[in-house]
Amino acid sequence: MTERSINRQRLRSTIEELGAIGLDPGGGRTRLALDDHEKEGRDTLVRWMRDAGLEVKVDPIGNIFGVLPGDEPGDPVTVGSHIDTVRHAGMFDGCAGVLSGLEILRTVKENALPHRLPLAVAAFTNEEGARFAPDMMGSLVLVGDASLEDMYSRTDDEGKTVEDELRRIGYAGSDRVMPSYYLELHVEQGPFLDLKAVPFGVVDGVQGIAWWHGRFKGQANHAGTTPMDMRHDALLAVSHLHVEMTELAKSIGGRATVGRIGIKPDIINVVPGEVSFTLDMRHPDAHRFAQMKFKAEEAMKNLANRFGLSLEFSKEADVHPVSFDKSLVSMIQSVADEHGLDSTHLWSGAGHDAQILSHAVPSAMIFVPSIGGKSHCPQEDSDFDQIADGADVMLECVLRLAE
């Protein structure tokens, strides 16, 4: 290990220690944004930041920053990601990036590596959107793409608001930190690097993401007495929507997912009278992305008419495809080459805070392979040495940006 390389064992142990918070009996861990387990994760991260001698700052939407002052004042070169998870998640999604960032700042401080600008490691609030929509909420508020008031009012399935939960866990801060540059290390969460057996991904951009919450309302009725042509079956509309959007996505190289449905009255011998659903649509090309969004809402309306249903829906997220800063992308590429790492370029299928930060500051990402291409499940797995290799590249980039 040289002074310009991170402590691999310490990085591994912090990822494993954070990964043990919120463990599920059936496998994986769950730290939904602002719940008690995520608070425990936040408290642990803040303790580590303080032990490392960083200044801890928390902004009004609960984004946490650990700051290492530079020779001069200024906006910090920032590395980060998120520590909230989906349900039954792996231990690497988000955490690999935050803890690589923490390890980078520890290494800089311990070895007194020179940096004119301040450095920061960030953990953004509610990147996943699994409990409160939209996803990437903390970074959206930071760059001004979402208002604090609107995000504070968002509720979970039990009607609890973001504001109440932030205050309850003690993370409604008043600091304000705006990065000068933003880099994010993340596991790929898809199969591309693993299938190509390439250990390092240089990310060119992130595809667009749109989310809808919707509800079809028809007529609950008797499963035995109601003729098929006299039904107003809300589940039929959701089923058709799922098939139509799947076929559309396949035909134009996008992604479509119906991740949640709620059936009422949800009884074996009753025609579903009301069905709530979510729809997640994605595409890397701006025009195709716009086409998918138009087709999604057109299909919902057509299906409501076709089956004699009422329809209500709201768009909960709408983030355009982004290309990362070209000079940062080429810096990452050349540092990876200097480190002798075999690398390849790719686009991100998953949304990331870097997608949002890139609206305000030069941003870019490093990907580490996901073994078997799995993520958002207990089977998520990555190689700790490959994560450490990525962190070493990010350390070098951070030092060059801050010099």
Q: Give me the residues that bind ligand HGY (CB under 6 A), please.
A: 127-129, 135, 350-351
Give least dist CB 349 to ligand HGY, A. Answer: 7
First CA to last CA distance, the chain:
22
CA atoms within a 13 Å half-sphere pointing along the CA-CB vector of 122: 34
Nearest CB to ligand HGY, comparing residues 106 and 282: 282
Give least dist CB 110 to ligand HGY, A. Answer: 32
- Out of Mn ion, ligand HGY, none, what residue 59 binds, judged by CB under 5 to 8 A for its kind, is none
- Out of ligand HGY, Mn ion, none, what residue 90 binds, judged by CB under 5 to 8 A for its kind, is none
Q: CB–CB of 99/282 below 8 Å?
A: no
CA pair distance 56, 122, nearest whole angstrom:
10
- Name beta bridge partners: 345: 202
Give least dist CB 129 to ligand HGY, A. Answer: 6
CA pair distance 327, 335, nearest whole angstrom:
12
Nearest CB to ligand HGY, comparing residues 173 and 351: 351
Give least dist CB 257 to ligand HGY, A. Answer: 9
Consult the annotation and say whether 376 binds a ligand.
yes
CA dist 172 to 40, 157, 164, 321, Å? Answer: 15, 21, 9, 30
Consult the annotation and say whether 40 binds a ligand.
no
Nearest CB to ligand HGY, comparing residues 85 and 100: 85
CA pair distance 39, 344, nearest whole angstrom:
36
- Out of ligand HGY, Mn ion, none, what residue 94 binds, judged by CB under 5 to 8 A for its kind, is Mn ion
Give least dist CB 189 to ligand HGY, A. Answer: 7
Give least dist CB 356 to Mn ion, A. Answer: 9
Buried b (16+ CB within 10 A) or exposed e, 22-48: beeeeebbbbbbbbebbbebbebbbeb
Residues that bind Mn ion (CB under 5 A): 81, 93-94, 352
Nearest CB to ligand HGY, comparing residues 10 and 255: 255
- Out of ligand HGY, Mn ion, none, what residue 135 binds, judged by CB under 5 to 8 A for its kind, is ligand HGY
CA angle 31, 390, 337 (to 5 degrees): 160
Give least dist CB 127 to ligand HGY, A. Answer: 6
CA pair distance 73, 71, nearest whole angstrom:
7
The residue type of 311 is L
Consult the annotation and say whether 186 binds a ligand.
yes
Nearest CB to ligand HGY, comparing residues 127 and 184: 127
CA pair distance 184, 322, nearest whole angstrom:
14
Nearest CB to Mn ion, comparing residues 263 and 377: 377
Consult the annotation and say whether 339 binds a ligand.
no
- Out of Mn ion, ligand HGY, none, what residue 166 binds, judged by CB under 5 to 8 A for its kind, is none
Consult the annotation and say whether 345 binds a ligand.
no
Nearest CB to ligand HGY, comparing residues 59 and 280: 280
- Out of Mn ion, ligand HGY, none, what residue 22 binds, judged by CB under 5 to 8 A for its kind, is none
CA angle 356, 84, 182 (to 5 degrees): 35
Nearest CB to ligand HGY, comparing residues 217 and 352: 352
**Distance from the Cα of residue 41 to its chain's centroid:** 16
Give least dist CB 128 to Mn ion, A. Answer: 5
CA dist 294 to 245, 281, 301, Å? Answer: 11, 11, 11
CA angle 356, 347, 365 (to 5 degrees): 55
Residue set of the binding site for Zn(2+): 82, 93, 128, 186, 376
- Binding positions are 82, 93, 128, 186, 376
